Structure 1
Amino acid sequence: MKQLFIVLCALLNLFSTYRSFAQDSVVTKLAKANVSSFLPEGNSFSGLGWTKIMDKVNGSNDVLIGEDHFTNEIPYFTSALASQVKFDNFFCEIDPFTAGILQQKIKNLSDIELQKYVNRYGNTFSFYAFTSEFALLKQLAKSNTQIHGTDQIMVVGDRVICNELQKITKNKKAKDIYTTIENNSKIYFDNFLKDQSKPFYLFTDDFEKNIEKLSLLELSPKEGQIIAALKQSVKIYKSRNHHLRIQLMKNQLMEKYSDWAGKRNLFKYGANHLAKGESLMEVYDIGNLVNNIDDSKYKNSLHIMILSTSGTQASPFQGFPEEKIDENSSILKTLKPITRAIDGNQWHCFDMLPLRKALNEGKISISDIKLSRIIKGYDLLVIIPKVTASKIADH
């Protein structure tokens, strides 16, 4: 009896594997029928895939690019879009205060002064510490696209923010505390780069004591807002509360709603954040919020996922080694039924709508929930054949 049970289990497992493989083959076949290729050309692209992307981009006010971070090719792709379409607003994965600081510096400093500023503070700019990403930010700012950030303050972002607060505060005690935070943030970050067991200053009791001292002082409304944001950022980092972070990002987006409602808007975040429905991390994120707002106005937002199957990507911090793209990573494993349809070394664009229609109508069955979320959440999937790691500007 026991042997029969073992045989039945083995047969069921074999049947399940065969069924999964058969369904993957159907997905691959459908993906192959809805893919087009394109190639970089100068500062843009050429080919049927690019034509299709631009047709979709031109048909939507809200374009959302869900990316894999730390490569040169994705800001290049975004730059090419922004060169052909004038966007009123650019939303990105950085806190709103740093976003405002960077836009102001790009617009008001000379090229030499700006480079000096980047050399001094660039490694506090989150993703925009990287040369290719900062070049994209410059392009957008100089074309009068408004830069908006929606995120908590980066673990080393206290330094650049407190440097600016020193300039605007009218309270001498506050100025001294801002200076202390800026200096200590740099010291702690330099120590972290040498020894990753060392904490960031933002995580220390001393930082929290200084923030509490600031809370008791008479300060401007803007200073009060930033101090509250620093407190909340510490709370998010220490609690590792992903949902709270997403709540903050959506709240910040809606605070600026009057600035972007009815305008042409470009969003660029990690792919986890920009699906139309449930995100890849099982919450309803910015992509879902924008999709619902557009849907309420009888419009469609355009959601593009972009990543690569090979190459290298950078580490978040200067001096850390770049990493090879892992073809067996969770996301690339999930996408294999689609990426198997790739033929050649060109860039490929998959139209996900036929896949979504087949899934919704029950013509295909997908057991991988993440793949289902991608198909339902993204309109286009762009696969880059090979990427190169971003470089942080020399300091």
Structure 2
Amino acid sequence: MKKSILLAFFTMLLSTKFISAQDSLVTAMAKRSQTSLTVSNGELKGLGWDKIIEKAKKSNNIVIGEEHFTNEIPFFVSKIAGQIKFDNFFCEIDPFTAHIFEQKIKTLSADALNKYTADYGNTFSFYAFKPEFDLLKQLVNGKTTIRGTDQILLVADRLICNELMQTTKNTRAREIYKTIRDQSKAHFSAFLKDQKNPFYLLTPDFDTQINELANLKLSTEENKIIAALKLSAEIYKSQNHHLRIQLMKNQLMADYGSWVKQKNLYKYGANHAAKGESLLEIYDIGNLVNNIEDSQFSSSLHIIVLGKSGWQASPFEGQPASQIDENEGSLKSLKPFLKLVNGTEWQCFDMAPIRRAIENGKVKVTDVKLSRIIKGFDFLVVIPEVTASQFPKL
């Protein structure tokens, strides 16, 4: 018995030393590929920034994998969009909401847009936050098409049904859209007071309303949106991640002919953006984009950007922000890189040399998540301290 305990102890000790040695080797290589970015007078400068822009200008598809709910990351993306003209912006919202955003930004006056945001802002997902919505406005004003690929947000049934009320020619459908809009708002208000209360999209009454709509004589566009609402409810209820990714890829490819070979910017959670297998063990939208670009005899550029410390906002207004812990989640796996991040300058790590060392057997990475990040992204950008995004003051 004592021998087996001692053997287990020494095995664990040797394993720990081996992992530590491998981490040190990755850190040494990372240091050689490390450059910095400096924020100065509202602009990004430095060798790291120049390197990113140089590579981004050479690729038709730039994929940003982020940690949500901070001010600094949409700032980073806005600066890329300030240097490069993009034809399309793909993002983690549904295509109908994306179209609504684009049309409101294009057609409403500043005061009218502020009022609309005050009324419906909490249905905007990430774009409810000021820096995110400012990024959308920058892109739309720069003639970039906004393209959503995700399922409909839990509370965006209100946003979408409000629009459908204005366009439907079916009197009964208009009544149902109004019911969904009003009930969604009431349920969300109840949820904010007590998180045990369900979103309307998840209730039996929502199913009843949608099923009735599906049996009415409606336009092709209405039928398409109703089907999307039903599928979105199914994804949320079943928590079927694979089905969600299938939908995202399906909606990306639905308009393939209108964006292929154009200049495209993608902004998704880091879990979705890797070239190969995602951080959630599935071949996600980043992998699809990589394969599409590969079929064009070129390569997409994948950048993961995150904060080492600081705060992330809650997705719901009035809820407290959460503190970032570098010893949890993906950050824990990135320890070989994070130990090189000190001071206030942002740091950029070129993954290509480390990736080649892994492929050539010169270094072995035992942490699966770290391996996926190194193989899945061209650059890792680490911000020493991030701040929580703020909702606009209206």
Q: Which TM-score applies when normalising by structure 2?
A: 0.99
SS at match of 1:192: helix
SS at match of 2:334: helix
Asked whether the 8 Å contact 1:88–1:264 carries over to 2, the reply is yes
Q: Which residue of 1 aligns with 2:389?
A: 390
SS at match of 2:265: strand
Q: CA deviation at 1:260?
A: 1.1
Amino acid at match of 2:138: Q
- 1:22-101 to 2 correspondences below 5 Å: 22-101=21-100
Q: Which residue of 1 aligns with 2:4?
A: 5
- 1:272-351 to 2 correspondences below 5 Å: 272-351=271-350
- 1:101-140 to 2 correspondences below 5 Å: 101-140=100-139
Asked whether the 8 Å contact 1:311–1:325 carries over to 2, the reply is yes
SS at match of 2:305: strand
Asked whether the 8 Å contact 1:302–1:379 carries over to 2, the reply is yes
Q: Which residue of 1 aligns with 2:354?
A: 355
Amino acid at match of 1:133: E
Gaps of 5+ in 1: none
SS at match of 2:387: coil
Q: Which residue of 2 aligns with 1:187?
A: 186
Amino acid at match of 1:118: T
In 2, Cα distance between equivalents of 1:297 and 1:202: 40
Q: CA RMSD in A?
A: 0.8
Q: Which residue of 1 aligns with 2:175?
A: 176
Q: CA deviation at 1:3?
A: 2.0
In 2, Cα distance between equivalents of 1:215 and 1:392: 36
In 2, Cα distance between equivalents of 1:244 and 1:345: 41
In 1, Cα distance between equivalents of 2:169 and 2:9: 75
- 1:168-317 to 2 correspondences below 5 Å: 168-317=167-316
Q: Alpha-carbon deviations, 1:259-283, whole Å to 9, x = none?
A: 2100000000000001000000000
Identity %: 58
Asked whether the 8 Å contact 2:321–2:388 carries over to 1, the reply is yes
Amino acid at match of 1:115: N
SS at match of 1:196: coil
Asked whether the 8 Å contact 2:342–2:384 carries over to 1, the reply is no
Amino acid at match of 2:266: F
Q: Alpha-carbon deviations, 1:96-121, whole Å to 9, x = none?
A: 00000000000000000000000000
In 2, Cα distance between equivalents of 1:99 and 1:142: 14
Q: CA deviation at 1:14?
A: 1.0
Q: CA deviation at 1:7?
A: 1.9
In 1, Cα distance between equivalents of 2:5 and 2:70: 48
In 1, Cα distance between equivalents of 2:8 and 2:108: 69
In 1, Cα distance between equivalents of 2:348 and 2:387: 19
Amino acid at match of 1:289: L
Point out the more displaced range, 2-11 or 269-278. Answer: 2-11
SS at match of 2:380: strand
In 2, Cα distance between equivalents of 1:343 and 1:312: 17
How many residues matched? Answer: 394
Point out the more displaced range, 307-316 or 36-45. Answer: 36-45
Q: CA deviation at 1:42?
A: 2.8
Q: Which TM-score applies when normalising by structure 1?
A: 0.99
Amino acid at match of 1:159: R
In 2, Cα distance between equivalents of 1:205 and 1:19: 54
Asked whether the 8 Å contact 1:347–1:382 carries over to 2, the reply is yes
Structure 1: 4+ residue segments shifted above 3 A: none
| Pairing 1:144–2:147 present | no
SS at match of 2:36: strand
Q: Which residue of 2 aligns with 1:16?
A: 15
Q: CA deviation at 1:393?
A: 2.2
Gaps of 5+ in 2: none
Asked whether the 8 Å contact 2:341–2:384 carries over to 1, the reply is no
Asked whether the 8 Å contact 1:72–1:132 carries over to 2, the reply is yes
Q: CA deviation at 1:76?
A: 0.4
SS at match of 2:79: helix
Asked whether the 8 Å contact 1:38–1:50 carries over to 2, the reply is yes
SS at match of 1:147: strand
SS at match of 1:385: strand
SS at match of 2:382: strand
Q: CA deviation at 1:86?
A: 0.2
Q: CA deviation at 1:5?
A: 2.4
In 2, Cα distance between equivalents of 1:44 and 1:83: 10
In 2, Cα distance between equivalents of 1:363 and 1:161: 53
SS at match of 1:306: strand
Q: Alpha-carbon deviations, 1:313-361, whole Å to 9, x = none?
A: 1001011001111122111110001221224320000000011001111
Q: Alpha-carbon deviations, 1:72-112, whole Å to 9, x = none?
A: 00000000000110000000000000000000000000000
Asked whether the 8 Å contact 2:124–2:156 carries over to 1, the reply is yes
Asked whether the 8 Å contact 2:162–2:178 carries over to 1, the reply is yes
Q: CA deviation at 1:44?
A: 2.1
Q: Which residue of 2 aligns with 1:164?
A: 163
Amino acid at match of 2:293: D
